[in-house]
Amino acid sequence: MRFNLSSTALSSRLLTLSRVPNSKNSVAILNCFRFGVHDGQLTLTASDNENVMWNVLNLDECDGEGDFCVNGKNIINAVRELPEQPLSIDVNFDEMKIYINYQNGNYDFPINSAEEWPMQAPVDDNATTVTLTSEALLGSLSRSLFATAQEELRPVMNGIYFDLNQDCLAIVATDGHKLVRNQMFTVKSDNPASFIMPKKPATLLKNVLTKDGGDVIIRFDSRAAEVNFGDGVLYCRLIDGRYPNYNSVIPADNPNTLTIDRRILLSAVRRMLPFASEASELIRFHLEPGKLELSAQDIDFATNAKEQITCDYNGVMMDIGFKGSSIIEILTNIECDNVVVLLADPSRPGVVVPDNQPDGENITMLAMPMLLEN
């Protein structure tokens, strides 16, 4: 079997897929990429036995069909340093070797039989289907991943929750200290359905999606999800369990409103954090009309810091504490000039929203307060 394709196209697809396998795989064949040549197309597949991703490349020329596996390190090292040029690849199934010919040289190394490759069970035919834009999904995943947890006792908190209901599609992440809720009102269903995607496949999707990538189709059942994007597909097993009622922790009545430049607030919190206790990272927010005062101290090392910022604040005078690193993560993952911080009282979470919401979407982030000592 022989086929020709671009060295750059092959290299870029392999580097993208190289994020899928684990550094140590329990099944040896998963250290390989699976190549499938059929109908003038090359399908490249990578797997870690929980997540499977494949990409399709159109071939310039093709003579013959077949499937085989190639060691990942061997094939990536062979093509990633090559400049853009056509590659001629010969596969000899009798010798079980692959021959890669390029302008100034050639490589050859062994291949493995594709029969050893573990195949995933397909998503059910009656699976729920969701269609949304690549830009919307990319934005939601990018904003949400930082809020996922790493807990063994509550694995449902370690993933991204997709909640499809009659009003919208909500994409949610929380670790119990901070929460992100992305609502897409253009995507809804009369038949509510939901699933929890683990952090790894969500991260893989974030790395391959583009803002102009067209529509993304997600099909899911109670066990797995299949995400079709551009010229690729991601299959992943889902986290089993009941996700917490995220809407119940978002205060409905927040009469105190702070509007402030996001970058100014972010820089100020970053300046305060080194002076806060390393254990708590507590930053005190003192609010009064027209002024925000940030302060931090570490009694053990006798350090103190204080800074005043001019702002637009409508509400009662208030002192409330937040974990500095959580505020930094929230402000870093919002793309806007100004943010609005909605507050009820010092014992209830602070709600952070952009001053201008994207069309058809609503972005809400939440930070749990910390106890202040007088």
Give the model confidence (pLDDT) of 179-192 as tens digits.
999 999 999 999 99
pLDDT at 374: 66
Strand partners, 303: 298
Q: Kindly state the average pLDDT of the residues 292-298.
A: 96
User: C-alpha distances in angstroms, 248 versus 19, 147, 251, 346, 349?
Assistant: 36, 17, 8, 18, 11
Task: Decide if pLDDT at 279 tops 70.
Answer: yes
CA–CA separation, 265 vs 261, rounded Å? Answer: 6
Which own/partner contact pairs does 254-257 have at CB distance under 8 Å and 24+ positions apart? 254/342, 254/343, 254/344, 254/351, 255/315, 255/344, 256/287, 256/313, 256/314, 256/315, 256/316, 256/318, 256/342, 256/343, 256/344, 257/313, 257/314, 257/315, 257/340, 257/341, 257/342, 257/343
Contact between 91 and 112 under an 8 Å Cβ cutoff? The reply is no
- Domains recognised in the chain with CATH numbers: 2-116 (3.10.150.10), 128-248 (3.10.150.10), 251-370 (3.10.150.10)
Mean pLDDT of all residues in the chain? 94
Tokens of 9: 């196209």
pLDDT at 26: 79
pLDDT at 282: 96
pLDDT at 24: 83
Task: Decide if pLDDT at 323 tops 80.
Answer: yes
Q: Kindly state the average pLDDT of the residues 118-135.
A: 92
CA–CA separation, 187 vs 125, rounded Å? Answer: 21
pLDDT bin (cut points 50, 70, 90) of residue 260 is very high
* Residue carrying structure tokens 């014992």: 347
Percent of the chain residues topping a pLDDT of 90: 88
pLDDT at 355: 94
pLDDT at 212: 82
Determine the longest span between alpha carbons in the chain, in angstroms: 80
Task: Decide if pLDDT at 360 tops 80.
Answer: yes
Task: Decide if pLDDT at 128 tops 90.
Answer: yes
Q: Kindly state the average pLDDT of the residues 233-244.
A: 95
Q: Kindly state the average pLDDT of the residues 295-314.
A: 94
Q: Kindly state the average pLDDT of the residues 107-116.
A: 93
CA–CA separation, 319 vs 370, rounded Å? Answer: 11
Out of 21-30, 118-127, 284-293, the most confident range is: 284-293
Contact between 319 and 284 under an 8 Å Cβ cutoff? The reply is yes
pLDDT digits (tens, 9 = 90+) for 58-108: 998 999 999 999 999 999 999 988 999 999 999 999 999 999 999 989 999
Task: Decide if pLDDT at 207 tops 90.
Answer: yes
Tokens of 243: 């996700």
